[in-house]
Every structure is written in C-alpha cells, then in structure tokens.
Amino acid sequence: MPVHSKQGRKNRKDPVEAFIPAPCPLSPSLDETLQEISLRIGTSSDVIIRRFTNESLSSLALAFIYIDGLVNADTVNQTVIQPLMEHVTLKSDAITADKAYALIKDQMLPIGGVQEGKTVEHMLSLLFEGYTLILFNGLTMALAADTSGYEKRSVNEPTSQGVIRGPKEGFTESLRVGTSMLRRRLKTSDLRIEEYKIGQRTGTGVALVYLQGIASEDVLAEIRRRLNGIITDSILESNYIEEFIQDGGLTPFPTIQNTERPDAVAGGLLEGQVGIIIDGTPFALLAPSTFFNFFQSSEDYYQRYDISSFLRLIRYGAFFVSMMLPALYIAVTTFHQEMLPTTLLISLAAQREGVPLPALAEALLMELTFDVLREAGVRMPRTIGPAISIVGALVLGQAAVSAGLVSAAMVIVVSFTAISNFVIPSLAIANSIRLIRFLLMLIAATLGLFGIMSFLMALLIHLAGLYSFGVPYLSPVAPMIPRYLKDIFIRVPLWNMPMRPKTSMSKETRRQGPDQKPQSIESQKKKAQLTGQQKKPQGEDQA
C-alpha cells in the first residue's frame, strides 16, 4: 500500500490540517444538502437517494439516503421508509419540520441505533457504515438510523492458530462479531469497548477492549494516546496499527501480540492486557506483550499442566534451535572440529567430500532455498500446493544431496531448523528469528562459537532494553520476580496460580480464592477431625 509519504512532506507545515479538513455544516435547504452530498460522493451507482414531498404539506420535504449493499433492505423498508411514508401520506395536518423531526426521532423509528448529526462529514461517515440518513428540509440537523447489514464471512476455525482441544472459532473481519465474541466470553460489567475511527480514507473501526480495574490505567492512557496520534489515510489490517503504536521501531522482535482467537484475547484481558480489534481483519492485537507471551499458546491452558509445561520447554528449545542450529553447524564444522565426537566428525567429513561449497555457502543456499519454498507454498494456489512439497522434498533435498551439491547433514540441519520454526506458537516471533538466523550464520562463519556467544550477549542486552508499553520485555525474568514465574517456562496447575501476572501492573492481583487445590474426601475428613467438629459443615460444602 502506498502510504501518504509524499503528500505529507509537501504539506510539512501542518500535516494534520492537510488530513482533517474543516467540517461543513448541513444546509437548511434540502436541495443544497443533497447537492453537497452528491458532490462529495459523486455519481456512484450504489448510493440510493430517495426524496419525497407531500403536496399538501409543502413545508415538509424529506430525503432518505442509503448505500445499497451496506444496508439490510428489509430493515430499511420496514423500519424507516414504511412508517415515514405512512405518516407523510396519511396524516394531512400541517406540520413543521421541527415537529416532524422530533416526532420521527422519538416515536416513529422502530430501530435501536438512531443518531443525530449536524455536519456533512458526520452524516457521510454514518452513511458509509450502513446507516440510512433522513434529511429534512429547513433543518440543519439530520437523523441517521442504523440499518446496516452487509455480507459477512461466517465464523470459522482460525487458520493460523489451530488447537486440538479448545474453542474452534476465530474472529472474522467484522468488528462487531469480534466484540460480540468477547462479550460472550466475559460476562462482566467491567468489560469496556472503546471505539475509534482511524484512517482518513478507510475510516476503519478500531475497538480498544479491556477489563476495567484489571488493565493498567497507565497502559490504557498510553495506548489511547498512541491510537489518537495516528494520522494516516488507511488502516487495512492490524499490522498498520501495530507498526504505528509499537515500542522500539528498530527491533526485530514484536512487542505486540496478534491473534485470531477470541479465547486468547479474553485470556489476555483477564491477565491485564489490552486488546485492539480492527474492523476488516480477523487478527486482533494484544498489548503489552512480553517476550514470554509469545511462547504461550492458548492450548497450554486447555490441557493438563504437565504436558503443557513439557511442550512449553520444547518451544523454548525449538526457538534456540531455529535461531542457531545452522550457525552452530557452521561454527563447529569450520572452527571447532575438536568438539565433535570422532565418529560424527568422520561421518560429516565423509559427507563433505566432494561438496564444492564452503559450509557457509552451503548453509546459506539451503536456507534461502527453504525460504523460497516457504514463500512459494504461501502464494501458490491451493491446488498446486502438494506439487511444491514434492519439489521441495525430492528435488531439492534428495537430488541435491545425490548430485553432491550439498551434504546430507546440511539438509537435516536446514529441515530441522525449519520445522523448529513452526513449533513456536506465535508467527510474529518465529518470523523475527528467521532474519536473525542469517545474521548468526555470517557471524558463525567469521568468528565461530565466540562470535555466536558475543552475538547472543548483544541480543540479550537488546532484549533487556526493550519495553512494551512500559512493561520490560523480559519480565518477569528480568527484572526477576520469582513468584510470577509460574506461567513462564512451565505452567503450574491452575489452582496454584492465584495471582495475575505482574505484567498487568494492575491493583487487583488475586484471581482465585484460596485453597483451590482439589482435595480427596478422606483428606477433608481428616482435616475436619483435626480442626474440630464445628468446621465440618464447611468441609462438606467444599466437596
């Protein structure tokens, strides 16, 4: 998408004014107003303007405007046009525009969302959201009735973040569907949804969702400030918002999570994060996010804690493998051959016999090949998809080895690296290490393990210096808060996590009652005996 850069530069003196023109009030004359509107919209075929007047009531002239396709035709006909027409034609009393306006607004529109507007811009923005405008001759005010109803994609399973156990519904492109999914999950009066319109030309609806009292006020204020600060002409996907509001522009690491899963957003809100849902994309944002958030999958909480902990450790392992394995291979085989067991060394040396390229070139070649394959797999039409995997596996893997272009060990290294990359639940962080991997390979080929270690140190320093909306990126590991480590490297049982994680920075930190650990009947009886007869009924209550 071409962004407004050139225009913005020209009008450097006041770029804000260039984007937000002065509002134009509605004219008292219906004709003038209609003229103004049609001037703005042009002659678009989907804009329907219907005006009617009553000969006997010359004072009253009305016009309806709506956009076909954005409105539900039945709703428009039954709740707006029909009552008004009946009124205008049947009642012959002389009526002023003022009275008609009040009457229509208060009594005649059997519809929930009715808004008033005074400027052309406001009315137009409502029009584009599927409202039906009702304009009155002789008034500088107009009514807009919410008749929106357009074709939406039905709720489907998330394509990028599937789970085995857990809810299978994902967000859709519709903002309203998204907020409704959250409402269904969080039936509390604390759920707040603030709506913004961002983008001069796209006018994209952006909803800021959070739980009052759990989300940190500081973070909220900061996010509101950054959202309000966005002046751009288009927001087409959540990444537009992400890039405009995230901390530290010059880092490969994401500081905002994105997810397709309403349950993940709900979980995030309950831990004090703030969600941002953007109209037109099924990907919602969650902020603030720490490094470790990207390794938590919502499925971690839907299956037993032991297997979740195991899987989480595997993910961290896969993260390092995916980032460093080719670099380690290069470093060890070109600098530190003494570190390998002899048998492995001989086996590797045997494979490298007759390979024409140095290890670095070999690794770069194969890694680039994989990235090409991966990109091709995404772009390819679905029907040709399987062909890609055959070409990738057979031609580039098997044949390249037998042709003596690359060694078999390198194919293993590259494929394991690639597979490890997919283990990481968040694509955002998996992508950030894809680039780091290449950098590390170059460093490994020049400085060996020493270079890798130095780079990792630098990376660690960089990560420790990052913040996401005021939350240190590596918290709660650095700064270390031991009692919040229960959900970082392993996941302890839910009943053992009574506190909200520190990242939320909220006042209300407890989320569970005490003693939630399930107890057997025997132990309860014993406990009751020990504490005495009085407490026995309570023990039974808990059971």
Partner 1 sequence: MKQRKQAIQPESSLPLSSGLRSLAGKRTSCLLLCLPLLSTLITGCWDNRELNELGIASGSAYDWEDNQWKATYQVINPSSGASGMGGSGGGSTTSPPFITFTVKGKTIMEAIDKTNLTSTREMFFSHSRITVLGESMARHGINQIIDMFLRKQDARETVFVFLAKGEAGDILDQLMQMTKNQGAGIQLMIEQESRLVSYYPGVRLYELAMALSSESGSAVLPEILLTGHKIMDETTETAVTDLPSRLALGKLGVLKGEKLIGWLTQKQAFGLSFMTDKVNKATIAFPSHPEAGDTPDASFILQKSSTTVRPVWEKDHYVMDIHIKGSGILTELGSIADLNERATIAEMEESIEQHVLELVNNSWTEVRKLGADVTGFAVRIHRSDRKRWKQIEQDKSWDSVFRDIEIRPHVSMKIERTGLSNKSFKSVQQK
The tally of CA atoms less than 13 A away on the side-chain side of residue 314 is: 14
For partner 1, give the closer residue by CB, 365 or 427: 365
CA distances 400 to 329, 355, 385, 409, 414, Å, are 19, 10, 21, 12, 13
The residue from 352, 434, 500, 502 that contacts partner 1 (CB under 8 A) is: 352
Q: Which two tokens stand for residue 151?
A: 């074709």
Say whether residue 347 binds partner 1 (CB under 8 A): yes
Alpha-carbon gap, residue 12 to 10, rounded angstroms: 5
Interaction mask 292-331, partner 1, x per CB under 8 A: ----------------------------------------
Judge contact between 60 and 53, C-beta under 8 A. yes
* CA distance linking residue 97 with residue 535, whole number of Å: 73
Cβ proximity to partner 1: between 342 and 383 the closer is 342
Number of residues located near partner 1, criterion CB under 8 A: 35
DSSP class of residue 22 equals: P
- Which residues between 394 and 413 bind partner 1 (CB under 8 A)? 401-402, 404, 407-408
Residues 523, 229: contact at Cβ < 8 Å? no
Per-residue binding string, partner 1, 240-269, x by CB under 8 A, is ------------------------------
List the x/- string, 448-477, binding to partner 1 by CB under 8 A. Answer: x--x------x--xx--x------------
192 forms beta bridges with 210
Q: Does 432 bind partner 1 (CB under 8 A)?
A: no
Give the x-and-dash track for 153-192 against partner 1 (CB under 8 A).
Answer: ----------------------------------------
Note the residue count of the chain.
Answer: 543
Supply the minimum distance, in Å, between the C-beta of residue 280 and partner 1.
37
- HEC letters along 427-482: HHHHHHHHHHHHHHHHHHHHHHHHHHHHHHHHHHHHHHCCEECCEECCCCCCCCCH
Residue in 338, 510, 533, 541 binding partner 1, rule: CB under 8 A: 338
Question: Judged by CB, which is closer to partner 1: 56, or 337?
Answer: 337
User: Distance between CA 410 and CA 399 in Å, rounded?
Assistant: 13
Among 2, 112, 354, 513, contact with partner 1 (rule: CB under 8 A) = 354
Pairing of strands 467-468, 274-278: unpaired
Query: Which structure tokens are listed for 520?
Result: 């057997």
Position 446 contacts partner 1 (CB under 8 A): yes
Helix, strand, coil share (%) of the chain residues, nearest 5: 50, 10, 35
Using the rule CB under 8 A, give the single segment among 44-52, 116-124, 348-356, 389-397 that binds partner 1.
348-356
Give every CB contact of residue 340 below 8 A, 6+ residues apart in sequence. 332, 333, 348
Binding site for partner 1 (CB under 8 A): 333-335, 337-338, 342-343, 345-355, 358-359, 401-402, 404, 407-408, 443, 445-448, 451, 458, 461-462, 465
